[in-house]
A and B are shown apart, each in its own frame.
Chain A
Amino acid sequence: MTSSGKDYQSKKRVMRKYNDYQKITALFLSGLIVLLFSGCYSLRGIPKGEIQYAAGKHYYIHGVNSSFELNNVVLSNGVFTGRITHLPATEKKKEIVHLYVAPDSAIQMNGEMISIPFQNIAKAEINKVEWTKTLIIGTGIAIGATYAVALIWLLTKGGSCPFIYSNDGSNDNFEGEIYSGATAIPLERDDYLWLKSIKPVDNLYKIKLTNEVKEIQNTNLTELLVFDHAPGTRILVDKYGNAHTLSDTKKPIAATDGYGRSLIEELSGYDSLRYISQMQRDPVLKDTISLTFKKPMDATSAKLVMSGKNTMWLDYMFVKFTDLFGNRYDNWKEKRNKKSQEELLKWSFEQGMPLAVYLETDTGLKFVDYFNLPGPMADKVDILRIDLSGIEGDKINLKLVAGMLFWDIDYTGIDYSEDQTIVKTVVPLSSATDENRKNVSDLLLYDDDGYLIQPEVNNITDITFTCPAGLSGMTRSVILHSKGNYEILREGKGKPDMAYLKSFLEPGAFTRFSKEHFLQYYQKAN
């Protein structure tokens, strides 16, 4: 279905039309995760010094040739004392602490009381979920679990943005998402996506624009920016539409997170090592990555390169936030559509959604710019030009700041090389055909009032572009320039707590909401 107007009833019908297999799959995956979590209880060693802080109510004492069960334990003056008991059959595994004692002679019995010198405890263990100790969450498993949960949500609820596939002659390859985060009409924005897999077929570049989630996606424009440039250089287009060449990109010489942990391995290459926030039970709401790069003494500007994506968690939490509006969701959505872009961007920025960049100067940290949300499905390599005038010395220090667990970053680098001469060709589309074979070219050809509206899952539009003649000795890079916005479809239920919702006007309120939700979720899992 494709139309140039927005029809409210149509949207409602779309919401009711729901894919059963998505629900079933999600339920199955939920069950799988529950099984995985429930199977994670295992014996884990704990430092002897933490025995008294262990959450156990009962203690198993294992001597070399004897064993006892104790409760009412006390650790005093270097002696561990408890009363012999017998556990009820239904005692929870996780409430038992196991103490291994040697030699047997160290176990002193006095009636029903047992005492053991602390120095004779060889090992202490507790049944525990593997990924939690002091609720430092941010490990691979936590990330995996987060992604799995968010993935289930993505399959059932939606909340991403239009997907782009490019054709290489034999396959349609997923390239990424466009205009992520433009969740209201005033947030409509230009997007520049590098199509790394595209190859001309019959002298045509072919892409697919698809809606695969529960949204109404409104695309205003699609065109290709074809760059012919020197081999060995790379072309990236920043969010303002400016093309930059990269010919000498340097890795950071130091990179740490807000807790001082080195991220140099994670952020130094396009590889499987990545950085995602380490979530701790503390008041910190924003994640800060500190980067240090070498700088030529005479450099007055730099190009900061970042490859990454926003987390599914962020999308998940944004939809959870919209659910708070209950049966007033549509009203809230309409109100947002009447606000100014500045107002909406300000709120988004104050909640830590974009990745903000700060530069350390003699007078303190200076805000430079921010990276737009890239979407959660694929890494996007993005670039920002940074003015270094007034920065002395042979190093620069940058900080990347966003809400906790909102970004998933693979690489950061800096390039001081001058932008080289490139040949840019803007290629308008040749054809655009929707899933019903209807010609929708007019809707995508210009940045105007005509929109390709894709309101349903499985809306697919095939778009072709004529491939311009290549230049001898040059390498080609193809960038998709698109523009649009989308709205998330929700069936709001219940009366909203307006007082609580008003608190989200405060900077950082959404970030706090997200963190509290995350910690609460994992506390329950534990």
Chain B
Amino acid sequence: MLHAANLLKALRTVIFLFAAVTVTGCLTLKTATISTIPQKRNVIMLHADDSLWAVSNYTFSDNTLTGLIHQDSLKIKKLKVIHLYAAPLSAVNIEGTRLTVPTGNIGKTDYYRIEWWRTIGGTAIVTYLLYSILFSLL
């Protein structure tokens, strides 16, 4: 009986680890295009070479990205951000806090998202399987 209890504890640990790894693994990088940026992504992290700017209040018009450089980048939530990668660095123009870059110089657009169906579904299925096996054996 005690051994079973201990086994249950061990399994709970494994399930927790599984859930942790699953959640971590499900925060996946999703590639997008400029026209398919999700609406709730209100901050752009613009990468060019080793430089990085957080850009808010952005618009795409006349084949140009225009936005304001966000000064407080550390408080930006990962799931509110879209990442744009521009090249070359000289294509990025900055005037004060206003940033512009031609869309033709944006080589990649991506963002992190949680795949909830995989996280919840996977964890639920594995939890169910583990406990089913356990109880059928005890």
Please list the residues of chain A having a beta carbon within 8 angstroms of any beta carbon in chain B.
20-22, 24-25, 28-29, 32, 36, 39-40, 42-44, 48, 62-64, 100-104, 106, 117, 119-123, 130, 140-141, 144-145, 147-148, 151, 154-155, 163, 165, 172, 174, 208, 210, 212, 457-458, 460
Closest Cβ–Cβ distance, residue B32 to chain A (whole Å): 12
The CA-CA distance from A123 to B109 in the complex, in Å, is: 10
Q: Which listed residue, B7, B20, B85, B130, touches A28 by the CB 8 Å rule? A: B130
Chain A nearest Cβ from B49, distance in angstroms? 7
**Once the chains bind, are B9 and A25 in contact (CB under 8 Å)?**
no
**Residues A102 and B106 in contact, CB atoms below 8 Å apart:** yes
Chain A residue numbers with a CB within 8 Å of B107 are: 62-64, 100-102, 120-123
CB B113 to nearest CB in A, in angstroms, measures 12
Min distance, Cβ B68 to any Cβ of chain A, angstroms: 22
Separation of A44 and B91 alpha carbons in the complex (Å): 25
Residues of A within 8 A of B138 (CB): 21
Docked Cα-Cα span, A32 to B128, in Å, equals 13
Q: In the assembled complex, how far is the CB of residue B53 from the closest CB belonging to chain A, in whole angstroms?
A: 14
Q: List 17 A-B contacts (CB under 8 A).
A: A20-B137, A28-B129, A42-B25, A42-B29, A43-B29, A63-B107, A64-B104, A64-B107, A102-B85, A102-B91, A104-B104, A119-B89, A122-B86, A123-B85, A123-B108, A165-B2, A460-B2
Q: Check: B121 CB closer than 8 A to any chain A CB.
A: no
B104 close to A141 (CB less than 8 A): no
Q: A28-B129, A42-B28 known; 13 other A-B pairs, CB under 8 Å? A: A25-B134, A42-B29, A64-B106, A102-B104, A102-B107, A106-B87, A106-B88, A117-B88, A122-B87, A172-B2, A210-B3, A212-B3, A212-B6
If over half of B's interface residues share one DSSP class (helix, strand or loop), that class is named, otherwise mixed; here it is helix
Q: Which residue of A lies closest to B30 (CB)?
A: A43
Nearest Cβ on chain B to A14's Cβ, whole angstroms? 14
Inter-subunit contact B11/A123 (CB<8 Å): no
B13 touches A151 (CB 8 A): yes
Closest chain B residue to A151 by CB distance? B10
Of the candidates B10, B29, B85, B88, the one whose C-beta lies within 8 Å of that of A119 is B88
For the complex, what is the distance from the CA of A44 to the CA of B25, rounded to whole Å? 12
Residues in B lying within 8 Å of A, measured CB to CB: 2-3, 6-7, 9-11, 13-14, 17-18, 20-22, 24-25, 28-29, 47-49, 85-89, 91, 102, 104-108, 126, 129-130, 133-134, 137-138
Minimum CB–CB distance for A447 against chain B, Å? 26
Q: In the assembly, what is the distance between CA of A174 and CA of B13, in Å? A: 15
A100 touches B108 (CB 8 A): yes
A121 touches B87 (CB 8 A): yes
Cα(A123)–Cα(B13), bound, Å:
38
Using Cβ atoms and an 8 Å threshold, which residues of chain A touch B6? Answer: 163, 174, 212
The residue on A at minimum CB distance from B21 is A36
A47 to B4, CA, bound (A): 49
Residues of A within 8 A of B133 (CB): 24-25, 28
Q: Cβ of A117: which chain B residues have Cβ within 8 Å of it?
A: 88
Chain A residues with Cβ under 8 A from B88's Cβ? 106, 117, 119-120
Collect the chain A residues with CB atoms within 8 Å of residue B129's CB: 28
Task: List, in ascending order, chain A residues with CB within 8 A of B10's CB.
Answer: 151, 154-155
Asked if residues A122 and B3 are in contact (CB atoms below 8 Å), the reply is: no
Task: Verify A151–B14 contact, CB threshold 8 A.
Answer: yes
Q: A123-B107, A148-B17 are in contact. Are A40 and B2 (CB under 8 A)?
A: no
